[in-house]
Amino acid sequence: MIKPHGSEVLKPLYVADENARKELYTEAESLPSMIINSAAAANAVMLGGGYFTPLNGFMTMGDAVSVAESMRTEEGIFWPVPILNLTNKIDEIKGVSRIALRDPNIAGNPILAIMDVHGIEVISAKKKDAIAERVFGTTDSKHPGISVFKELGNYCVSGPIQVLNFSYFEQDFSGTFKTAVEIRRDIDDLGWRKVVAFQTRNPMHRAHEELCRIAMERLDADGIVIHMLLGKLKEGDIPASVRDSCIRKMVDIYFPVNSVIVNGYGFDMLYAGPREALLHALFRQNMGATHLIVGRDHAGVGDYYGAFDAQTIFDEIPSGTLEIEIFAADHAAYSKKLNRVVMMREVTDHELDDYVILSGTRVRELLSEGVNLPPEFSRPEVASILMDHYQS
């Protein structure tokens, strides 16, 4: 199986031993505590699940700046996006060496992790803008990732963590949420060696379905992991529970048995385009995938990135930086001429009117009005689930 990033073995920070975990919970109750923000909680979940191997916790400002500027930590580990614990409130943790991190996403703010505090550093607005410019390619507050980043806080709390649970993802998405450890085990149990990953924050329409099928066939892959984001999204995106139902229905009906694994990961969407595509590839390597489908405007939003910037950035990093490879996909759509889904760059005799293409806005309008989506665009079983959601 493909090696984890920067390590011979996966390094999950979740404390798996039950007795050790109970002792840490007891200790945590006596420690100064910090209610972290949702972005930091998602980082903790990813660290706990082994997705962020080989990191051992939250980065210092030095690492954050180095990652933003060169995509390397100060120790030289390739990493495309800073993994930070930012806050505006440090009064209760000043001068202490060990703290409990409390979950902002569950009522009562239960303990999520324990952290050894190695540093508390001020981050100026100027430095924050400089990091944002390099990571997101913009400082525009209208960008959903920037608007969140700017509100996270002006103090950087860094140090290693021990993760005690996986927040709301375990309960709310039981059977779907999986750690990198678990996915590697599932891949190994199936005997897969060449494994494609498909990233999604949306329900899968016909074009997405066919991209998965095309990638599997052209790569001669043993199977595909449809890996959906389960964390926070921007306003207007489809809730994770609805996406989960849509994707499972599509796979059950339209893919061969034992050719697809459907699961998800606990992370908040960044909308960081090319940099986030690199992060997606890195943690898919950690979960055992050998290839990641990277399509048009991968992890993008609005007009902040070029259509294929998320593909070309892989050509800009040194060879061998990541072991996982990408399957570079074009925009896919149903061809009325050929009566099938195609990658649009592969057909040369088509005009725009020869395709069935619906914008996200138009899809939402049709569903809200109770109008069925064209069968060329969406499988009827998937469209039915979406219509129930919008009608309710």
- Which residues are marked as active site? 201-202
CA 287, CA 182: separation in Å to the nearest integer?
8
Per the CB < 8 A criterion, the answer to whether 11 and 178 are in contact is no
How many other C-beta atoms lie within 10 A of the C-beta of residue 63? 22
Measure the CA dihedral 24/29/35/39, to 10°. 10
CA 189, CA 255: separation in Å to the nearest integer?
19
CA 199, CA 280: separation in Å to the nearest integer?
8
Residue 293's nearest CA partner among 321, 322, 266, 328 is: 328
Which DSSP symbol is given to 154? S
Per the CB < 8 A criterion, the answer to whether 284 and 197 are in contact is yes
CA 127, CA 385: separation in Å to the nearest integer?
45
Per the CB < 8 A criterion, the answer to whether 219 and 196 are in contact is yes
* Residues comprising the chain, all counted: 392
Rounded to a whole number of angstroms, the CA Rg of the chain reads 21
* H helical segments located in the chain: 18-29, 38-48, 61-70, 125-136, 144-150, 169-172, 180-190, 206-219, 240-254, 273-286, 309-316, 360-368, 380-391
Q: To 5 degrees, how large is the angle CA 72–CA 69–CA 286?
A: 35
